[in-house]
C-alpha cells in the first residue's frame, strides 16, 4: 500500500491544498512561516487517526496523545488549529484531510476478503478524515450508493490500513529527550513481533509470577490507607501490561563512543539529529515488519554541515527505495532535481507541486548566470577539448540532446582536471542542477569518482568512466579515429602516427603520443600536449561522427542513453 496523494483544507495556515502528489521521495519547500510544516503535521495528524487511533484521546474538546510526550502523535486543538479567521463565522467548522492509497492486486483481493462485502474497489482507496471541536469522523469515498455500504465497514477498513502501514513523524527540533522518545517508539514497533512469540509469552508469564506477590502486597496496603479516607472503597488493583512497548518505555538510553563513550545528551545537535534517522534506515532495510513505512521529517538537515547533508540525502534516498519519505527542507541539496513535481511548494496558504526548477531556485533565493538560468542538467568533463568532442558527437547522435544544448537545459562544463569533480558537482547541485560526470578511465578519474561517491556527492547513476576494450587506462582521445587528425599532425609537427610507439593499443593516448614525440626527436611538454588535444578536438568538429572509432563507441552510446533518460524527466 502506498500513499499517492494528500489534500488538506482549513488546517492552521493552510486554507487549501488539493491532491498533492506523493511519491517515494517527496520534498516540501517554502518560505518561513508559510505553512510547509503545517502540511507535514496535517499528514501526520490524519495518519494518526487512520493507523494509531488507539494512541489518541478526546479531552476538553482536544485531541491528545494517550501517552504523554509521544513525538509521533500530533495533537489537535480547534481553537489553535482551525483557521482563526473562520472560527467566528463557522463555530462547528472542521479541518478536512483526504488521503489516497494505491493498492496492489493482492491487496485489492485481501481488501475484499477482509471487508466481507460484494463491494469491489476498482480504483484507489480514498479516506477522508474530519476533525472538529473534540470530534473525529472518517469516511471512505466511492461513487454512488456503494459509498454508504463501504462506510458501514469503516472500522474494518481502518484495521486493514493499520495492517498495511506504519508511519513515523520526526519533528525539526530533535533534542536528546525527544530523540530517546523516538528511539523508544521505533524499537517498540520493531519488537512488537515478540508479542506473538511463544518463548516471549513464557518469559512474561514467569515475570508475572515473580512480581505478583509484590503487587498484591502493594494493593493490600493501598486499600488499607485509602479506606481510612474513603470507607466505601472495596478493592484497589494494579494492572500490568504485557505489551513490549510498556517494557521498553522509559528504559532506553543511547550511548555513542566517538573516542569517549557518552550519553547522547552530551553529543552535538547534529549527532542527535541523525540517531533516529539512522534507526529508520535500519528498520527500512529490515522491511518494516512487512508493512509500508511512511517517514515524515521536518528539516532533517538542521544542524548538519553540507557534506553531512549530502550523506543524509543518500540515506533518505536508500530508505525511499522501499518506503516513502516526505520531508520539509530549506536546503537545495535535499531538492529532487530530476522529478521536479515531487517538490511541493507552500506559499500564501496554498500548496502546489513545483512546475520547474527555476521556480524552486527563485523560492530558495538562488541567482544564476545567464548561461545557467535554464540549466536542468550539467555534463561535467575533464577539459575544454572534451567539451568540443562530446558536443559534436552527442548532437549528431541524438536530437533530444541537441535540442537540450540549444535551449540551455543541458550545459557542458570543464572541470579543468578530474580532481575538481567533487567541488563542481556539489556547486551545481546546490543551485539545483542535475549532474552527470563523464571522466577519463585512468587513475585520476577513478580516484576522483571514488572520492565523490564516498562523500555522497555523486550517485552511481551520476557518473560514467569512458572505457576502451582491452585498455586498462583510457581517455577521450582514445575514442577518436587517428585517421581523423593524421594529416594535421604531420603538417604541423612533422610527426607520423604510423609508428610502433603510437600503435601500442594498451597505453592511453597521452602516453602514446608522448612516446611518439620522443621517438621522433621532438620536444614534449604540457603546452604541446594542450595544443595537440585542441588539434584532435578541432578535427572531430570538422569531421563529425566519422571521427568516432567504430570499435570504441560503447562509452558514448551509454552516455547518450543516460543523458536522454535524465532529460526525459524534465
Neighbours of 149 (CB within 10 A): 14
Same domain for 308 and 230: no
pLDDT by residue (tens digit) across 99-156? Answer: 999 988 888 888 888 777 666 666 788 999 999 887 888 888 876 667 777 778 888 8
Highest mean pLDDT among 27-36, 304-313, 496-505, 558-567: 558-567
- Residue of 20, 92, 21 whose CA lies nearest to 61: 92
Same domain for 352 and 408: no
Same domain for 529 and 430: yes
pLDDT at 280: 65
Domain for residue 454, yes or no? yes
Distances (CA, A) of 364 to 346, 360, 375, 423, 528: 12, 6, 16, 21, 45
Rg from Cα positions in the chain: 31
pLDDT by residue (tens digit) across 412-467? Answer: 999 999 999 999 998 898 888 999 999 999 999 999 999 999 888 898 999 999 98
Same domain for 546 and 477: yes
Q: Structurally, how many domains does the chain consist of? A: 3
Range of the domain at 199: 193-248
Same domain for 388 and 374: yes
Q: Where are the alpha helices (DSSP H) in 137-175?
A: 146-151, 154-164
Domain for residue 363, yes or no? no
pLDDT at 4: 93
For the beta sheet containing 62-65, the strands, ordered from the edge strand earlier in sequence to the opposite edge, are 56-59, 62-65, 76-77
Same domain for 241 and 110: no
Q: Which of 358, 379, 408 is the last residue of a domain?
A: 358
Q: Which of 358, 377, 409 is the last residue of a domain?
A: 358
Share of the chain above pLDDT 70, in %: 77
Q: Please compute the mean of the pLDDT values over residues 179-197 and round it to a whole number.
A: 62
Amino acid at each position: 500500500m502506498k500513499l499517492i496523494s494528500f489534500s488538506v483544507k482549513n488546517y492552521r495556515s493552510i486554507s487549501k491544498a488539493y491532491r498533492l502528489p506523493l511519491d517515494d521521495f517527496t520534498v516540501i519547500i517554502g518560505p518561513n512561516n508559510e505553512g510547509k510544516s503545517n502540511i507535514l503535521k496535517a499528514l501526520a495528524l490524519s495518519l494518526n487517526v487512520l493507523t494509531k487511533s488507539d494512541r489518541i484521546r478526546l479531552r476538553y474538546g482536544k485531541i491528545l496523545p494517550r501517552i504523554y510526550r509521544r513525538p509521533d502523535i500530533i495533537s489537535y486543538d480547534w481553537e489553535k488549529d482551525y483557521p482563526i479567521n473562520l472560527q467566528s463565522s463557522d463555530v462547528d467548522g472542521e479541518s478536512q484531510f483526504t488521503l489516497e492509497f494505491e493498492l496492489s492486486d493482492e491487496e485489492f483481493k485481501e481488501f475484499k476478503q477482509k471487508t466481507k462485502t460484494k463491494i469491489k474497489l476498482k480504483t484507489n482507496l480514498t479516506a477522508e478524515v474530519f476533525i472538529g471541536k473534540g470530534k473525529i469522523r472518517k469516511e471512505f469515498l466511492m461513487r454512488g450508493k456503494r459509498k454508504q455500504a463501504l462506510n458501514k465497514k469503516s472500522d474494518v477498513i481502518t484495521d486493514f490500513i493499520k495492517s498495511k502501514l506504519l508511519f513515523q513523524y520526526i519533528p525539526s527540533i530533535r533534542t536528546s529527550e525527544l530523540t530517546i522518545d523516538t528511539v523508544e517508539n521505533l524499537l517498540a514497533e520493531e519488537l512488537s513481533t515478540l508479542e506473538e512469540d511463544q518463548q516471549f509469552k513464557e518469559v512474561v508469564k514467569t515475570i508475572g509470577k515473580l512480581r505478583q506477590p509484590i503487587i498484591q502486597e502493594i494493593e493490600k496496603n493501598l486499600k488499607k490507607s485509602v479506606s481510612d479516607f474513603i470507607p466505601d472503597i472495596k478493592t484497589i488493583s494494579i494492572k500490568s501490561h504485557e505489551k513490549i512497548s510498556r517494557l521498553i518505555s522509559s528504559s532506553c538510553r543511547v550511548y555513542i563512543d566517538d573516542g569517549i563513550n557518552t550519553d547522547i545528551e552530551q553529543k552535538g545537535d547534529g549527532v542527535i539529529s541523525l540517531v533516529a534517522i539512522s534507526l529508520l534506515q535500519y528498520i527500512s532495510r529490515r522491511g518494516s515488519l512487512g508493512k509500508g513505512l511512511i517517514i515524515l521529517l521536518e528539516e532533517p538537515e538542521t544542524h548538519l554541515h553540507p557534506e553531512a547533508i549530502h550523506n543524509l540525502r543518500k540515506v533518505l534516498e536508500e530508505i525511499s527505495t522501499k518506503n516513502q519519505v516526505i520531508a520539509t527542507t530549506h536546503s537545495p541539496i535535499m531538492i529532487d532535481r530530476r522529478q521536479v513535481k515531487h517538490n511541493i511548494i507552500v506559499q500564501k496558504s496554498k500548496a502546489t507541486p513545483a512546475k520547474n526548477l527555476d521556480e524552486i531556485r527563485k523560492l530558495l533565493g538562488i541567482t544564476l548566470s545567464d548561461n545557467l538560468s535554464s540549466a536542468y542538467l550539467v555534463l561535467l568533463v575533464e577539459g575544454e577539448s572534451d567539451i568540443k568532442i562530446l558536443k559534436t558527437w552527442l548532437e549528431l547522435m541524438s536530437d533530444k540532446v541537441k535540442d537540450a544544448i540549444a535551449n540551455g537545459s543541458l550545459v557542458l562544463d570543464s572541470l579543468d582536471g578530474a580532481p575538481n569533480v567533487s567541488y563542481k558537482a556539489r556547486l551545481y547541485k546546490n543551485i539545483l542542477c542535475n549532474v552527470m560526470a563523464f571522466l577519463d578511465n585512468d587513475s585520476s578519474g577513478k580516484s576522483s569518482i571514488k572520492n565523490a561517491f564516498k562523500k555522497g556527492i555523486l550517485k552511481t547513476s551520476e557518473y560514467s568512466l569512458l572505457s576502451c576494450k582491452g585498455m586498462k587506462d583510457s581517455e577521450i582521445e582514445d575514442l577518436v579515429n587517428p585517421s581523423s587528425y593524421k594529416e594535421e599532425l604531420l603538417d604541423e609537427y612533422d610527426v607520423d602516427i604510423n609508428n610502433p610507439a603510437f600503435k601500442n593499443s594498451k597505453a592511453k593516448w597521452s602516453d602514446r603520443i608522448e612516446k611518439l614525440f620522443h621517438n621522433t626527436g621532438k620536444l614534449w611538454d604540457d603546452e604541446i600536449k594542450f595544443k595537440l588535444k585542441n588539434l584532435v578536438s578541432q578535427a572531430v568538429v570538422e569531421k563529425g561522427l566519422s571521427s568516432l572509432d567504430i570499435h570504441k563507441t560503447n562509452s558514448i552510446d551509454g552516455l547518450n542513453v543516460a543523458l536522454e533518460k535524465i532529460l526525459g524527466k524534465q
